[in-house]
Amino acid sequence: MLKEYREHVAERAAQRIIPKPLNATQVAKLVELIKIPPETEKFSY
């Protein structure tokens, strides 16, 4: 989900337009990623 959204953001940036907002499915997936982030996305505090 994150990879796809980052690609979308990059494509839109190349066109000099803002990314589309997340849809309901993307929001649900993002919430799950926040609850249990992948190792590559974890922050160390």
pLDDT tens for each residue of 16-38: 999 999 999 999 999 998 888 88
Range of the domain at 23: 2-39
Q: Is there a domain that residue 44 lies in?
A: no
Report pLDDT for 39. 79
pLDDT tops 80 at residue 41: no
Query: Which tokens in the block code for residue 29?
Result: 């997936």
CA 7, CA 11: separation in Å to the nearest integer? 6
Determine, yes or no, domain membership for 45.
Answer: no
What CA–CA distance (Å, rounded) separates 34 from 41?
Answer: 10
Task: Report residue 29: phi and psi, to 5°.
Answer: -65, -40
Domain assignment present for residue 10? The answer is yes
pLDDT at 45: 61
Give a yes or no: residue 22 inside a domain.
Answer: yes
Domain count, the chain: 1
How high is the pLDDT of residue 11? 97
Single-letter amino acid code for the residue at 44 = S
